[in-house]
Structure 1
Amino acid sequence: MITLSSHVLDTTLGSPAHNMVITLTTPAGDRVTAKTDNDGRCKNWGDINFSAGVYCLRFETAEYLQTHHGKSFYPFVDIHFEMLEDGGHYHVPLLISPFGFSSYRGS
């Protein structure tokens, strides 16, 4: 079984980025939109049944960064990643600031 979660952290404030819109696009082109919770986490992808393939998470960063920092160089961040059939749980964190971001495969 494949599962997916994400976590957005604001590295400038040192706190979770809550209420950020994230859109997941599946290999078939299906899309589901969700928001990060108060802890900056997201794991509710509706009724998506994950299978192997290349997925994309689009983090809508502009509104969050403009609200909390008054500026945003990146209007959104797209992270493309591949999930394997025997991959188990995938966790895709995003670390953001008004002028930079990074990501990695978490646990």
Structure 2
Amino acid sequence: MSTVSTHVLDTALGKPAAGVPVRLSRIGTERPGDRAADLVVELGSGRTNDDGRVNDLTPHGLAPGTYQLWFDVAAYAAASGQEIFFPEVTVTFTITDERHHHVPLLLSPFAFSTYRGS
């Protein structure tokens, strides 16, 4: 079973983004031929801690499949007093092996970036 972690960094302020609501969901189908977006199951949620991390999103591990991390950037922007162009960020990714998958999110008021870390 794989695990997933995330880390949100505010590149405009040069520090971890604390307090960002994050949700992890699995995206799949109930029957062959259904669209993948037809079934979304929330697996875990939380808020980033003072280091910008969410602990225990996948305490039982994840099977191969397609997953989605959703970040409530608007809530963070309001709490930090920043203007923000993207009110939410959704990162969809596929797990095909049993490795750990780290999905960082780098934020600024008018841009974001992500990548597969380790």
Q: Normalized against structure 2, the TM-score is what?
A: 0.82
**Amino acid in the other structure paired with 2:92:** H
Contact 2:7 2:103 in 1 (8 A): yes
* 2:7 aligned counterpart, secondary structure: strand
Paired-residue identity, % = 41
Out of 31, 34, 41, the residue aligned to residue 30 of structure 1 is 41
Q: Structure 2: how far apart are the matches of 1:49 and 1:106?
A: 17
Q: Structure 2: how far apart are the matches of 1:90 and 1:44?
A: 13
Partner of 1:12: 12
Contact 1:69 1:98 in 2 (8 A): no
* 1:44 aligned counterpart, secondary structure: coil
1:48 deviation in Å? 4.7
Out of 16, 29, 43, the residue aligned to residue 55 of structure 2 is 43
Contact 2:17 2:51 in 1 (8 A): yes
**Amino acid in the other structure paired with 1:8:** V
Out of 66, 71, 77, the residue aligned to residue 83 of structure 2 is 71
List alignment gaps of at least 5 residues for structure 2. Answer: 29-39
Contact 1:74 1:99 in 2 (8 A): yes
Out of 31, 45, 53, the residue aligned to residue 65 of structure 2 is 53
**Amino acid in the other structure paired with 1:30:** V
Q: Structure 1: how far apart are the matches of 2:79 and 2:11?
A: 15
Q: Normalized against structure 1, the TM-score is what?
A: 0.89
1:98 deviation in Å? 1.0
Q: Structure 2: how far apart are the matches of 1:71 and 1:9?
A: 16
1:35 deviation in Å? 1.1
Q: Which protein is bigger by CA-based radius of gyration?
A: 2
Structure 1 segments, 4+ long, off by >3 Å, are 46-49
Contact 1:8 1:17 in 2 (8 A): yes
Partner of 1:83: 95
